[in-house]
Structure 1
Amino acid sequence: MSPWRQAARATRREFLAGDLLTVFAALVLGVAVMTAVGTLVNRVTLALTSSAAEVLGGDLGLSGRQDIPRSFDEEAQRRGLRHTRMVSFPSVLFHGEASQMAGISAVEASYPLRGTLEISGDTPDGAAHPAAPPAPGQAYADARLLDALGLRIGDDLEFGAGHVRIAAVLAAEPDASGELLQLAPPLMVNRADVDGAGLLGPGSRASYRLMFAGDTGQIADFREWLKPRAGDWRLLGIEDTQRGLRNAFDRAGRFLALSALLAVLLSGVATALAANRFAVRRIDQVAVLRCLGARQNDILATFALQLLFTAVPACLIGVALGMAVQSGLVELLGSLVPNRLPLPQAMPALAGAGIGLLLLLGFALPPLLRLRGIPPMRVLNRSFAATPPVSVLAYGAALAATLALTVQATGDARLAAWVLGGLAALATLAGLAGAGLLWLLRRLQHRLHGAWRLGLASLARRRALSVLQLVGLSLSLCALLLLAVVGPGLLGQWQARLPADTPNYFLMNIQPDQSGPVLAKLKALGVAKPEVEPFGTGRLLSINGRPPQRLDRDPDDNDDGNRPVNFSWRHTFPPANTLVSGRFWAADSTAAEASVEEAWAQRYGVKLGDRITLLMGEQERQFTVTSLRKAEWDSFRVNFFLLLNEGAVGDAPYNLISSFHLPHARASELGAMTRDFPNLSLLDIDAILSRVREVMTRVGQAVQLVMGFSLMAGLLVLLAALQSTAGERRYDSAVLRTLGARRTQLRGAVLVEFGALGLSASILAVGAAAAIGTLVARQVFELSLPAPWPALLLGGLLGTVLSMLAGWWGTRRVLRVPPALALRED
């Protein structure tokens, strides 16, 4: 007997019989979803990494609040590296009666070292084109800045002690591209104009940067030379760039990873169930072949080759489908991904195909190993070998390898741990519940009659398969509920973070005596309940009497942690915050207490009861940390890392800040306020909110596409679980019909069997989906998602009804087969 020839003939004959078709579909879905998500993540990561030097404006840099010594330039030049200097700072610009906060960038003639500076408006067609940095006396201005100040190209702009002429519109600057949160519109000038305007005094809040570019080896050697000499300046590398874009994709990647993870796991379960049915249906065939003298290894090789012949085209189709899907994901994400994505690499596709082969070897091969123990006497009795220990080991190894590849492709081990831990707990609980249910049925069976007795007896008679069905149904229903109910709920919670009345303007530098008039003008503009918050800046001197030390500081960052710190104070607990631990002070308290945001507390290792010392103006004040809280930074409200008890602040220097929502149609009226109060700084973040909402919308569409594959995988598991005992039910029904059972009795028995199975699985799945969804929302997505019980219970009810319908539909096919023919087939 030739295993290859026999396997090829059997594959062609049995592919559409059901078992191999289910295995084929499961492999296609698993490979497709992993190829799609893995390729997308890989392409975006490569694009962000390859463009990082362009975004940074160089290969390596130094940044700090003080000007950087010229000795670094000289050393770079000696090593053959190119270099350029930049300085940036915020400043209020004036033109006539109009004023606007702007981000000033002063550059040299050698700027930029990497990337391209683009301007527009200085040619007849107005198209953007590459350009050299502005010459002395000239400036490139952002279009928003021109609109705010009423300027045109060629106009003069008051700049410090002098003037600069607007030469063009600033279309793109390398070290600002790709950032989602650029608050103030930029103005680029020549470094000589800044030095001559007297804008770099002690209170200028300037940030100095020295950038270098060269070969990879030269940059690596120069970085090692710079490390011990950087002092108070921070080293900049490509890992510091594109943070806004990376943060925007971080949560999106978690949604995609959740869908991909469940799809792969469900594909594995469907493969295992279908392969188990494939093996069970060939027990008698193996016994006959053994009687005819066939060797065990040849028989096993034949069936293994059948699965291999099924898996190879499945993997190829899955890879092709996955590549098409990732192209669709790129289109759905639109402008959120870099414009020049690199071509897909082979690794994600190979990883997808590898997962397909792991699903085949790990979940389909173990049932075949049982066929090795089929004795020739099987033709005379119904004995069947138990699952050998090597099969259990194969299942465990395959599951571990598949999950490792999945985590590598999606890049989120934490999400995998929570979801898979929950599903593993569900599988264990379902197995124990199934064993307990069967134990109870054996004791209640004699008290039942009619269809109830027949249906529940069918469950009790096939104990191992019934427990396997319950586990498979529970996992599939739970995964379907996670995808269909919890997933959209998480997306809805994310989108609810930005309601229609989200603050879209920040008003800064309000002096205390201006509070009343400013609030009155905001009310007149239609702002609902405008508020101001105190805003103080000091220095963190010590924590528990010791100098502060950042625990998350990069080894290359030589900042000693004694840096300026912003803080505020109030009597009541702030909105858009959640108390994590401790207690917030009473409204009438005068104790020197502080409330610390948990991220800042982790950064400095601050705990409840610690004493922090601040320099506030000319005074040193000590406060005891009495509460830790979590701030919702994406709420766009005024939030602070450090909050102090207003009753203990005293006469610390401060100004005021306000965030509010104003319809875009009335935005032009804010200009009168800035003319009445020239010291105010107004930040318009409407464009930012639109960008973030675009992220949410497009990510939601992309996630729904991936979830569609996962839902199909879940339905496939459901089908495989319900089909796993089809042969046994057909045989039992034939025997009962031979003994005189009516069709209505058999249908009722099947409805009872599948109703009990579906109801038990639904109860377990609903509880597990609620628990897993709540934990994943809090621990991974950092969202608060109450369990959506109505939708979950409805889903559980639909799962029970679907289980009963599947049993009823299967009974219709069984009852059409004459009993004698069914007995001969089985």
Structure 2
Amino acid sequence: MLMWRFILKHIWRDRHQTSLIWLVLALIISVAGITAIQQLSGLISASLHQQTLYLKGADSILTSSIPITPNWQKKAHRLRLSQTTTVRFLSMMTHASHMQLADVKAIDSNYPLYGHITLANNSGDKPYHLDHQAPQIGQIWASEALLKALHAHVGDTLRLGDATFKVAYVLINEPQQGVLNLLPAPVLIMNQQDVTRTHLIQPGSVIYYQWLLKGSIKTRQALQQSIAAELTPRQSWRTSRDKASIVETMVNNSLVYLKAGLFLTLLLAGLVIHMAMTGYLQQQALKVALLRSFGATHSFILRFYMGHLGMSGLGAILTGIVLGYSLQPVWVYGLKRVFDFDIAGFIWQPAVVSLLAAMGMLVICAMPYVWSLKRTDARALFFKTATSKPSFLAQTLALCFIALLAYAYMQSWPLVAGLMLMCVFYTALAWGSLNLMLWVIKHVFAWLPSYWQFGLTHIRRRLNISLLYLISLGLSLTSLIFLIMLQQTLLQHWHHYLPKQAPNFFALNIEPFQVQSLTHWLERQHVQSSFAYPIVRGRITAINGQPVSQALGEKARHISALKRELSLSWRATLPADNLITAGRWQVPGTKAWLSVAEKLAHSLHVHVGDTLSLRIANQTLTLPITSIRQVDWLNFQPNFFILLKPGALDAFPATYLLNFYLNPQQHALLAQLKNKFPNISIIDIGAILSTTERMLQQASQVLTFMALLNLSLSLLAALQTILSFAKDKQQETNLLKILGARQKQLAIVRHSEAALLGFISGLLAVGCALAAMMYITHTLLSITWQPPWLVLSLLPFIIATALGGLNGCISTRYYQQAVSLNAYQT
């Protein structure tokens, strides 16, 4: 009890001590930043998984072109899996004299297993959610687009096949509607018991059956294994962890950047805490000597300082956690704009992990210094003794601890290992740069006056500590510059994909004779449209003359492109967003050829010179592969797995596809378009575009927050770098005053060291941030990036000037107010 009272009194007495204040600030800022970023990452991951479930409506889905086997459903029931089935097909709906192709979806009362169906009583009314309920017999729920196309309203009667149905509600949204559907038509939902009344399902009909399952992974895997041998090539599994949409892909990419930023924040936090700990404990030698003169034992010193740092650190860590959680409403509000459902509330894991991580980091950083302090004896009151430096083993343990923390946050050993190797390389580069700069100044600029050499001598005398400060300052600046450039580059990259007038509608099933009249009609309405892409449906049946099942074996069952017909197209020129990675786009003298997307070529293990056999209608077409294309699937433009030479598919009937942009005031043109071209199907992707745009805005704000956090850590590292030299600089300044140095010479002495460290750290930061940006833009994003060379070339000088100026502001208090008499007193 007396020990704790003594520790509390000591903390209260040291509350104004600068080094302790810096330590507390370092802990608060670091823990707040780590907690906030981890919390955001957790919310995004949970929200992404929740959206995936809502988009699919189940944990696992079996897609089939034949009815689901009843015995399988009995096995699922015995395993206590929740299940439901849906039946989907295309059919014409009629109302009075109007007709419209509809995507008919028949459900039962168990649908959906996740999420909900959103309905409205009439167009424009407030929507509401409905769970586990199917339309009544003889009723349907029709989408607003379908009702507008048919000039129908709620309460009207529509004909489907041989049956008539009453429109009960307007369908606003339903699971599996948040991504681009394979069936390009407005949706209606009906009861499965009404399907037989329509007499639409006949031999040869194209029907999509889905078996939706909900349950634990272990139970679902057991079911899948038990029926695996009975599956046909026309049936395939899809789980909630499969890629579902463009939005999810972009969010996952943002999570990678977030985790990389979190690692840098962890590393910077460890370095800043280590620097603050070094500054604080190195000033405790006289206090320890005083305690030893009163009979304090080694164990007492050890328990006292560990308790002191533990209580001070715990208070700072809890404050940082509270500050980190204060940002949760901001994250939740931002994510609600991206994900259209309630975001998970309080997440407790970041608080616990941040508390344990920060305390562990504090103990590992403090223990080597406290261990050396306890060996201080009473003679230190009269003779200045050097404090022992932490061993290489202690520093290695600290780095390993940070690596373990990074893995706990990122759950990816390759990513952690790569980042750790980069840090080791950065340390070696910093050491080499510092020694090279000192050698150059000593030998090349030996003609400089002696007062310029004081800063260099001080750096050389404390090379290890100077290297630590250089690494801390350089890494924080690297992170700051990298995040700012990444934010600007991603915004430019995304605006390239999503310009202000990005196409938000796709028109499909356009007949060849309608292409010219449709494009002219859109031009008269001042609507921008794209190139009209011809489409012929075909299926890959053989590779180099071998059936795909023989050529690929069991892998063929898991390649989605082999389970369905592909949209085949042709163009005389290479699409603007495509890049040839192998072969040539046009081969002279070749009668017919095809170009394959790189992703598909990798899945099929095919190369330039191989042949693919395509089954089109009742004919088989075998063509050589003359080129492999890199396709950007995130650009919201028509993209194709296979493009052919113009004329290769002239013998087959084709339809056309184009996209166009309508502003909100032009949406009334859709009704005119449907009346003029009733056979054309229109897909509205405006909801996907708006969701993606909101997500990109939130990602930009997250990068801004991370940049501000790293700016705070950079300033903290810079201040600690300057203050760590303050006492020695004060003694040098007083001595030089006695020797007659002028104010200009004293200013050079004071600023040379800080300016040199700032210049070297600026060079390292610019070089490393530039290398990281080039790697990400060319390897991960595959975009062209033009570095801002002028700004980057000036940054080292700006940083050196800023650090020297900051040192000048601090020197006003620490150096200029000192009188010459202090030199004799020291």
So what's the TM-score if we normalise by structure 1? 0.88
Q: What amino acid maps onto 2:601 in structure 1?
A: A
Note the C-alpha offset of 1:511: 2.4
Which deviates the most, 639-648 or 585-594? 585-594
Structure-2 residue corresponding to 1:749: 749
Q: Structure 1 residues 630, 273: CA separation in 2 closer, same or farther (over 3 Å shift)?
A: same
Equivalent of residue 320 in structure 1, options 297, 319, 322: 322
Answering whether residue 283 of structure 2 is matched by residue 281 of structure 1, we say: yes
Structure-2 residue corresponding to 1:253: 255
Gaps of 5+ in 1: none
Identity of matched residues, %: 26
Structure-2 residue corresponding to 1:616: 616
Note the C-alpha offset of 1:246: 3.8
Cα displacement string for residues 235-269 of structure 1 (whole angstroms, at most 9, x for unaligned residues) = 45544597566435323323433443332222112
Note the C-alpha offset of 1:464: 2.8
Structure-2 residue corresponding to 1:425: 425
Is residue 99–residue 675 contact of structure 1 (8 Å, CA) maintained in 2? no
Cα displacement string for residues 487-508 of structure 1 (whole angstroms, at most 9, x for unaligned residues) = 3432442343200231222111
Answering whether residue 156 of structure 2 is matched by residue 155 of structure 1, we say: yes
Q: Structure 1 residues 3, 465: CA separation in 2 closer, same or farther (over 3 Å shift)?
A: farther
Is residue 333–residue 699 contact of structure 1 (8 Å, CA) maintained in 2? no
CA distance in 2, matches of 1:350, 1:570: 58
CA distance in 1, matches of 2:168, 2:529: 42
Answering whether residue 362 of structure 2 is matched by residue 360 of structure 1, we say: yes
CA distance in 2, matches of 1:361, 1:555: 54
Structure-1 residue corresponding to 2:405: 402
CA distance in 2, matches of 1:88, 1:628: 35
So what's the TM-score if we normalise by structure 2? 0.88
Structure-2 residue corresponding to 1:190: 191
Which deviates the most, 487-496 or 756-765? 487-496
CA distance in 1, matches of 2:437, 2:81: 75
Cα displacement string for residues 517-568 of structure 1 (whole angstroms, at most 9, x for unaligned residues) = 2332233232446421121221212234444369899999698945423222
Question: What are the within-5 Å matches in structure 2 for residues 645-660 of structure 1?
Answer: 645-646=645-646, 648-649=648-649, 651-660=651-660
Q: Structure 1 residues 316, 181: CA separation in 2 closer, same or farther (over 3 Å shift)?
A: farther
Question: What are the within-5 Å matches in structure 2 for residues 165-564 of structure 1?
Answer: 165-173=166-174, 175-176=175-176, 184-201=185-202, 204-211=205-212, 222-232=223-233, 233-239=235-241, 246-247=248-249, 249-283=251-285, 285-286=287-288, 294-337=296-339, 339-371=341-373, 379-380=382-383, 383-408=386-411, 421-444=421-444, 446-449=446-449, 451-528=451-528, 530-548=530-548, 561=562, 563-564=564-565
Structure-1 residue corresponding to 2:139: 138
Q: Structure 1 residues 736, 272: CA separation in 2 closer, same or farther (over 3 Å shift)?
A: same
The alignment yields a C-alpha RMSD, in angstroms, of 3.7
Q: What amino acid maps onto 2:276 in structure 1?
A: A
CA distance in 2, matches of 1:254, 1:19: 36
CA distance in 1, matches of 2:312, 2:777: 38
Cα displacement string for residues 289-335 of structure 1 (whole angstroms, at most 9, x for unaligned residues) = 66776545543443333322221012211221222212221112223
CA distance in 2, matches of 1:79, 1:486: 49
CA distance in 1, matches of 2:556, 2:726: 63
Q: What amino acid maps onto 2:715 in structure 1?
A: L
CA distance in 2, matches of 1:805, 1:785: 33
Note the C-alpha offset of 1:160: 3.1
Structure-2 residue corresponding to 1:730: 730
Question: What are the within-5 Å matches in structure 2 for residues 594-613 of structure 1?
Answer: 594-613=594-613
Is residue 141–residue 171 contact of structure 2 (8 Å, CA) maintained in 1? yes
Q: Structure 1 residues 130, 294: CA separation in 2 closer, same or farther (over 3 Å shift)?
A: closer
Q: Structure 1 residues 591, 11: CA separation in 2 closer, same or farther (over 3 Å shift)?
A: farther
Note the C-alpha offset of 1:604: 2.6
Note the C-alpha offset of 1:54: 6.6
SS in 1 for 2:326: helix
Q: Structure 1 residues 766, 675: CA separation in 2 closer, same or farther (over 3 Å shift)?
A: same
Structure-2 residue corresponding to 1:89: 89
Is residue 289–residue 378 contact of structure 2 (8 Å, CA) maintained in 1? yes
Is residue 178–residue 245 contact of structure 1 (8 Å, CA) maintained in 2? no
Cα displacement string for residues 450-494 of structure 1 (whole angstroms, at most 9, x for unaligned residues) = 542334333334333333332222212111212333334324423
Q: Structure 1 residues 724, 543: CA separation in 2 closer, same or farther (over 3 Å shift)?
A: farther
Is residue 162–residue 199 contact of structure 2 (8 Å, CA) maintained in 1? yes
SS in 2 for 1:633: coil
Gaps of 5+ in 2: none
Structure-1 residue corresponding to 2:31: 31
Note the C-alpha offset of 1:111: 4.2
Q: What amino acid maps onto 1:254 in structure 2?
A: V
CA distance in 1, matches of 2:486, 2:246: 27
CA distance in 2, matches of 1:699, 1:740: 57
CA distance in 1, matches of 2:347, 2:426: 37
Is residue 505–residue 682 contact of structure 1 (8 Å, CA) maintained in 2? yes
CA distance in 1, matches of 2:699, 2:181: 18
CA distance in 2, matches of 1:254, 1:552: 34
Q: Structure 1 residues 594, 480: CA separation in 2 closer, same or farther (over 3 Å shift)?
A: same
CA distance in 1, matches of 2:155, 2:46: 41
CA distance in 2, matches of 1:424, 1:402: 17
Cα displacement string for residues 734-777 of structure 1 (whole angstroms, at most 9, x for unaligned residues) = 22223332332111222333222212221221111111122234
Is residue 533–residue 656 contact of structure 1 (8 Å, CA) maintained in 2? yes
Q: What amino acid maps onto 1:33 in structure 2?
A: G
CA distance in 2, matches of 1:342, 1:501: 34
Q: Structure 1 residues 650, 325: CA separation in 2 closer, same or farther (over 3 Å shift)?
A: same
Is residue 422–residue 768 contact of structure 1 (8 Å, CA) maintained in 2? no
Is residue 138–residue 166 contact of structure 1 (8 Å, CA) maintained in 2? yes
SS in 1 for 2:667: helix
CA distance in 2, matches of 1:217, 1:404: 25
Q: Structure 1 residues 65, 648: CA separation in 2 closer, same or farther (over 3 Å shift)?
A: same
CA distance in 1, matches of 2:559, 2:746: 79
CA distance in 2, matches of 1:626, 1:362: 60
Note the C-alpha offset of 1:87: 0.7
Question: What are the within-5 Å matches in structure 2 for residues 696-735 of structure 1?
Answer: 696-735=696-735
Q: Structure 1 residues 172, 645: CA separation in 2 closer, same or farther (over 3 Å shift)?
A: closer
Q: Structure 1 residues 575, 252: CA separation in 2 closer, same or farther (over 3 Å shift)?
A: same
Which deviates the most, 221-230 or 718-727? 221-230
Q: What amino acid maps onto 2:359 in structure 1?
A: L
Q: Structure 1 residues 59, 468: CA separation in 2 closer, same or farther (over 3 Å shift)?
A: closer
SS in 2 for 1:679: coil
Note the C-alpha offset of 1:816: 0.8
Q: Structure 1 residues 315, 111: CA separation in 2 closer, same or farther (over 3 Å shift)?
A: same
Note the C-alpha offset of 1:122: 7.2
Is residue 454–residue 749 contact of structure 2 (8 Å, CA) maintained in 1? yes
Structure-1 residue corresponding to 2:636: 636
Note the C-alpha offset of 1:509: 1.5
Is residue 611–residue 622 contact of structure 1 (8 Å, CA) maintained in 2? yes
Q: Structure 1 residues 110, 655: CA separation in 2 closer, same or farther (over 3 Å shift)?
A: same
CA distance in 1, matches of 2:171, 2:311: 59
Cα displacement string for residues 669-702 of structure 1 (whole angstroms, at most 9, x for unaligned residues) = 3434433333221222223222221222233334
Q: Structure 1 residues 575, 824: CA separation in 2 closer, same or farther (over 3 Å shift)?
A: same
CA distance in 1, matches of 2:631, 2:473: 40
CA distance in 2, matches of 1:244, 1:633: 8
Q: Structure 1 residues 74, 95: CA separation in 2 closer, same or farther (over 3 Å shift)?
A: same
Q: Structure 1 residues 115, 325: CA separation in 2 closer, same or farther (over 3 Å shift)?
A: closer
